[in-house]
A and B are shown apart, each in its own frame.
Chain A
């Protein structure tokens, strides 16, 4: 995944506006064969959540236990480091879900 500083900067407003938003898990899976930049986090859940504004959102679930993986589980948007980039370059932060 490219982390062009301009691209990151352009996304910042959207990312900030989502912090603290809540939703409920609609569907979940556990990614065990990830893309390259997520290898050191696998296995990790990815969920589609129905947010309070009625929209669906896809995101990685962090700080999870097995019992959190169920339909209807409440989640909240938190700001997290996306993945480990190279030693140089901008650190990429993004929204992830956390069980509430």
Chain B
């Protein structure tokens, strides 16, 4: 499999009250086209990753809506898979290239969340859970809090250990001008922040965000001529699991991630230690701790401890995780996240990440998760 990445773009992530979803999407799409030196008419299809548009804004049919913004009439698809919608859209776009249906396609991830109150967002996000979880009054922070309880009990990990994940990601975010939060925080800031779902506190949780990100991909080397620093997607894998957390055998590992990562490593002919830099779906601090174990970066039970030791931190770690600031500091506009992760890894592999450059990065991985692990999408990129 050889899929080339042409231009990429993300908007600023944050509370963008003066920007409409249409304008946000248009900005990301046009900037990705410019970066690819392409006109809208040179795109064969559009894939849109989005979760909440019809729940929050009563707007479905996003494919047609957004090609209208581009002023073209190409085939367009909206893909939904909770917070993995972006990664799933890219996976489907790649499949369309492998099937030789299209040659060059635009993939957009977008979410506009801050127009709505916190309770409305908590309700809307629970669309990614199960009936049993909704009827129990659970929320996503609540479901991940249950995982955190299980993880802390099993591996003797403390709340301070988990707080180190947020501290690292805010430190990385401080080098990213597109990030929602660009100020460093301390473990004590995390510990003092208000409780959301015990043991998770506000600063263990990714924020409610607006943002869009876009990438243009093409099959083989077609179109790459214009790109000075080619980056290729060498694996794109998806796996699923039960919607409900309580129906699973393990509360301290996500089987969907393990399966998708295994398939991706095999497809790419790589081992976890070959990865230089990764964008991890740290919707909560506990998520990144578990992810680094499920991806094989850390031994089981040592993910949080390794993060605390600095093994995932820029300028000193071995496998750098979330140089963008991750979902925690860069922001988590849910449908956009999976594409933003790709944009970040492409910048890292091209050596264009500025002050947050992971030196000499050649191989990168993205880890995008929907629900409490009901769907996982793994991409591996190589320069």
- Give A residues with C-beta under 8 Å from B: 1, 26-39, 41, 44, 46, 48, 56-60, 71, 82-83, 94
A residues near B134, Cβ cutoff 8 Å: 1, 35
**Is A35 touching B251 in the complex (CB atoms < 8 A)?**
no
Instruction: Give CA–CA (A34, B133) in the complex, Å.
Output: 12
**Is B146 touching A31 in the complex (CB atoms < 8 A)?**
no
In the A-B complex, the 10 residue pairs with the closest CB atoms: A29-B145, A35-B123, A56-B246, A36-B119, A27-B146, A38-B137, A58-B246, A30-B198, A58-B136, A35-B122
**Is A33 touching B139 in the complex (CB atoms < 8 A)?**
yes
Instruction: Give CA–CA (A1, B130) in the complex, Å.
Output: 12
Q: Does B135 contact A (CB under 8 A)?
A: yes
Q: A28-B146, A44-B137, A56-B247 are in contact. List 11 more A-B contacts (CB 8 A).
A: A1-B123, A31-B197, A32-B194, A32-B198, A33-B139, A33-B197, A34-B139, A35-B139, A36-B119, A36-B120, A58-B245
B residues near A32, Cβ cutoff 8 Å: 194-198
**Is A36 touching B198 in the complex (CB atoms < 8 A)?**
no
Instruction: Give CA–CA (A6, B332) in the complex, Å.
Output: 36
Write the chain A residue with the least CB distance to B125: A35
Chain B interface, DSSP helix/strand/loop, else mixed:
helix
Instruction: Give CA–CA (A33, B199) in the complex, Å.
Output: 13
**Is B136 touching A33 in the complex (CB atoms < 8 A)?**
no
Q: Which of A34, A41, A71 contacts B119 (CB 8 A)?
A: A34
How many of chain B's residues have a CB under 8 angstroms from any CB in A?
33
Instruction: Give CA–CA (A94, B135) in the complex, Å.
Output: 8
20 contacting pairs across A/B (C-beta < 8 A): A27-B149, A27-B150, A27-B251, A29-B146, A30-B198, A31-B138, A32-B196, A33-B119, A33-B141, A34-B119, A35-B119, A35-B126, A35-B137, A36-B119, A37-B123, A39-B119, A46-B142, A56-B247, A58-B133, A60-B137
Write the chain A residue with the least CB distance to B119: A36
B residues near A44, Cβ cutoff 8 Å: 137
B379, chain A: closest CB distance, angstroms: 32
**Is A58 touching B119 in the complex (CB atoms < 8 A)?**
no
Write the chain A residue with the least CB distance to B131: A11
Write the chain B residue with the least CB distance to A96: B136
List B120-166 residues whose CB lies under 8 Å from chain A: 120, 122-123, 126, 132-139, 141-142, 145-146, 149-150, 153
Q: Which of A26, A31, A59, A94 contacts B139 (CB 8 A)?
A: A31
**Is A31 touching B246 in the complex (CB atoms < 8 A)?**
no
**Is A58 touching B123 in the complex (CB atoms < 8 A)?**
no
Instruction: Give CA–CA (A39, B194) in the complex, Å.
Output: 17
Instruction: Give CA–CA (A36, B119) in the complex, Å.
Output: 5
Write the chain B residue with the least CB distance to A30: B198
Q: Does B118 contact A (CB under 8 A)?
A: yes
Instruction: Give CA–CA (A59, B251) in the complex, Å.
Output: 16
